[in-house]
Structure 1
């Protein structure tokens, strides 16, 4: 039986050409000549007996077969590249730590503090992966993940970090325009909602006795980074985890119109990992100790 195993050069030529839809751009990315890229594509098409690209003059487009093939080989190529980097890290006697993190946590909390972690753990090399949605399975090649939710993911150890205290924030101009001085004022103002914390406004309304109010109305956002930006832009009042908005509050881009926090117990940011990986990864144990220590120090003030 004939094995249809193209070589890596052909696959890279195909993936780059499919991305750019231009052999010249692909050649520039790969450090080849356009004719070399074209030959690699011709080799693939001869191997499979199908056309992967449709050529009309100077225009290039993927055929149906090309679209299907591109959809199947892109992720494996990326994983091979990641695996190669991990192998190099092992060879260089470095502790590689693959981490997936929700975007807002990464940009607002983790990245600004990474220098202190890397200074304390100079042999650790971080590799960031796409964040996991609430229902996503935990990938085999992942060491740890920062996830947002209720902290209950089957088969995982989940250490609570922060995120259960929510505060109302908005832009200074929005607060002045709507005269936000009491909880009732906030209840009557336009509100912004996070899709995974849609019940927080209801819990807030119960805590401050401003029911009835339509606690689930308002524009909805999947990520806190976008929700915070919407609040800064004057679109409404947002309830967000307090630890995520220190910088915009300090810079004056956001204000807390009234002192009205609410604590919830069904949401938060968690460091998640498998028990087996924790037992074998020194880098993971270092990261866990550092993170828990940072948040414990912040809570002590």
Structure 2
């Protein structure tokens, strides 16, 4: 078996504490250990690595060149290990953990407000949700499923379209005033909020109107549709956003649909499953719940 040079956690903690405090006695107090235990861990680490990490100067420990080079990485390793442990502790009581990557605006505006319903139907499944705009590499990442637009499915996955994407124009009620709808000309008199990751949406909207396309590209740029929706509600301008994202804000009266016309993009929100999730009870339970929510 190949000899390992991997430090133990105790060795890393002893090294970092000694580097920060300057003596094994103070490091032992900070770690709630004996001074001999800290000295032993430090000696074992230096012997394992074959290099002196400290210079002993007047009963003080001063980092050597090798120690200075190692300190940042050692601290990072301990920090990452602590974060990973705390993250796993969040799933205490769950027999399974379902990790999913979801488009940010879809997650905030549609999925998360409904997830309490899934938790009631499957309390044994813990959820780990990350916002994602880019495609998921299911081979390299510990992700069980994704909800993306249809162009984001990687090879070797199964895609199931769940909702057609339909865009609407929304504005703050006070920006509309007494008007119930805006004409194309009235739209161009207002700031058109731009979605920076999909910069051609307004050009697509005005494609057949004969206007100067430069007029359709003037307005604040924001990363996500939910940011655009917040900016619309604040009166910064009008937004062109998926109806499913705007629905809740429209129902609450924060924004109003500003035109009768809608734009169907031809894309869908899709549930994307890697092969390993096709037989996963947790992934299939979520899929069944999701389809019920969409249908209902």
Do they fold alike, i.e. is TM over 0.5?
Answer: yes
Change (3 A) 1:148 1:227: farther
| Mapped contact 1:131–1:145 kept (Cα < 8 A) | no
Distance 1:13 1:265 in 2: 59
How far does the alpha carbon of each residue in 1:61-109 deviate from its partner, in whole angstroms, 9 at most, with x for none?
xx665444555665566456656877x77xx7x3331222233322222
Deviates more, 1:283-292 or 1:192-201: 192-201
CA distance in 1, matches of 2:219, 2:233: 16
- 1:292 maps to 291
Q: Is the 8 A contact 1:95 1:282 kept in 2?
A: no
CA drift at 1:276? 2.9
TM-score (norm 2): 0.71
Query: Aligned partners of 1:171 and 1:123: how far apart in 2?
Result: 41
Q: 1:144 deviation in Å? A: 0.8
Equivalence for 2:61? none
Give distance in 1, aligned partners of 2:159 and 2:75.
36
Rounded to whole Å, the distance in 2 between the matches of 1:66 and 1:226 is 40
Give distance in 1, aligned partners of 2:285 and 2:203.
38
Partner of 1:230: 231
Deviation of 1:3 after TM superposition, in Å, equals 3.6
Counterparts of 2:255 and 2:292 in 1: how far apart (Å)? 28
| 8 A contact 1:228–1:238 mirrored in 2 | yes
Question: Where does residue 173 of structure 2 map in the other structure?
Answer: 172
> Shift of residue 151 of structure 1?
4.1
Where does 1:38-117 land on structure 2 (aligned, <5 Å)?
47=46, 49-50=52-53, 65-70=70-75, 74-75=79-80, 78-79=83-84, 94-117=95-118
* Residue 132 of structure 1: aligned partner: 132
Call closer, same or farther: CA 1:118–1:84 in 2, change over 3 Å: closer
Rounded Cα–Cα distance in structure 1 between residues aligned with 2:147 and 2:38: 40
List gaps (5 residues or longer) in structure 2.
Answer: 22-27, 55-67
Cα offset, 1:264, TM superposition: 0.3
User: Which residue pairs with 1:54 in the alignment?
Assistant: none
1:189 aligns with 2:187: no
Q: Which moved more, 1:69-78 or 1:136-145?
A: 69-78
Q: Which has the larger radius of gyration?
A: 2
Instruction: Measure, in 2, the Cα distance between the counterparts of 1:165 and 1:120.
Output: 30
1:96-142 CA-to-partner distances (Å, cap 9, x unmatched) read 312222333222222221222222333322223x3334245224421
Q: 1:259 to 1:69 in 2, by over 3 A?
A: farther
Tell me by how many angstroms 1:12 deviates: 7.3
Aligned partners of 1:81 and 1:118: how far apart in 2? 21
- Determine helix, strand or coil for the equivalent of 1:190: coil
Structure 2 residue matching 1:157: 3-state secondary structure: strand
The answer for unaligned runs of 5 or more in structure 1 is 24-31, 52-62
